[in-house]
Every structure is written in C-alpha cells, then in structure tokens.
Amino acid sequence: MLFTIAGSSCSGKTTAARACADLDHLIVHDFDEIGVPSTADTRWRQRGTETWLRRVLDYQDRGLDVLLTGQSPLGEVLASPSAIHLDGIAACLLDVADDVRWRRLEHRDPGRWDRDAKRSFIGWARWHRGHAADPGHQPEALTTGAWEQMEWGRWNAWTSGDPRWAVTVVDTTGQSVEHTTATLRRWVGDARAESASGRLALGRGWIKI
C-alpha cells in the first residue's frame, strides 16, 4: 500500500514522515532520494513518480507499505502507469500558511530564492490546495508538458464529490512536529483499517468502481 504525502516545499513533510518510520511494516522514503537534476520539470517528476511506484510494488510483494513524501499530487499518482497495481493508495496534503512557508524558505535556504521563486512555491502550494479539494481544479498544471505515458483518463472526469478523490489535508501552521507526527500516524492507522475492511476509497480495483 502507498501512503503519499504531497505538498509544496517547507510544509514539514520530511521531518514528520521520518518520525513515522518506526511503524510496523512501513518504509519511509522521500521522492528526492532518486536525485533531482537541474533540468527537473513536470515530465521528469511524472517519470520519477512511476519509478517510485515500481519500487512500492516491490515492497508490496514483500508485505511492506511505503510512505512517500514529495511534490506529486494525487492526480499524478493515479495517472502513473503502475498505480492500478497497488493494493491501496492513501493521499495526504501537508500544508502550511503562505506567510509561514515564505519565512521557512528564507530561513532554510538564506539567499537561495529570490522573490519570484518564493512566489512560485506559494503559487504551487495554493494549486495543491485546490487540487486536493477538486480534481477539476486547473488540471493543466499537470497535463501541460506531461510525460506521454500518463493515464489522465483514469480520473479527469471525476468531480469533487467522487469518494475516490480522498485527500486528507493536514495544516501544520502553528503545530508542533510532535502534533503533526501524531496526526500522520493516526492517518496511516485509519487507512490501514479501511483497507483491511474493504472501505478504503482507493483500494484495489479503484479504477473499476
């Protein structure tokens, strides 16, 4: 099973996810472990998502779940060729208020990002919020310049009321790492329980529902 935690930079994804690494039968990875080239773009990210899903399937064969943090939103995961072979998918958006993200960017990488770059991070975060709530929110952000093997038809006719479009949003604004970690651990536990009972929104066979 895949637990995917997406969000724009400086949401606190990596720190909180690492604190979940002691959960039974759960492997934690960050998308950027495969290396990020200077030419990274939408197409590269989508190909990288497929690379990760194939690794998740290897873990799945060994009876292990994977918690993967990165920039890939739910629509990108579902459109990846290997997504239909997963036993289950649970999606989370880890978010933070725009002003907090701006300050974190300045603190984490002093002098690295100019104002336009930081505005781009903020814009990407706002897009993620819209996408988490509604699959019809500006899909061109994913489909323009996309990798040709992506299967957008799996979900691009869904509406915001479709039960399969299930993204848990965790806002870290004003929250301690411990609080965020506890929230994620509950999310993992709840999704596993839903999967075991056959109630997981994106359980095996979701594309046929």
Q: Which pTM does this prediction carry?
A: 0.94
The tokens describing 64, both together, are 């292990």
Asked whether the beta carbons of 56 and 2 are under 8 A apart, the reply is: yes
- What's phi and psi for 133, nearest 5 deg? -85, -30
CATH of 2-208, one of 1.10.10.10, 3.30.1780.10, 3.40.50.300, 3.40.50.150: 3.40.50.300
Average pLDDT of 62-68?
98
The kind and range of the H/E element at 66 are strand 65-70
Edge to edge, the sheet with strand 2-6 lists: 26-30, 65-70, 2-6, 89-95, 167-171
pLDDT tens-digit readout, 133-175: 999 999 999 999 999 999 999 999 999 999 999 999 999 999 9
CA distance 12 to 94: 7
Amino acid identity of 121?
F
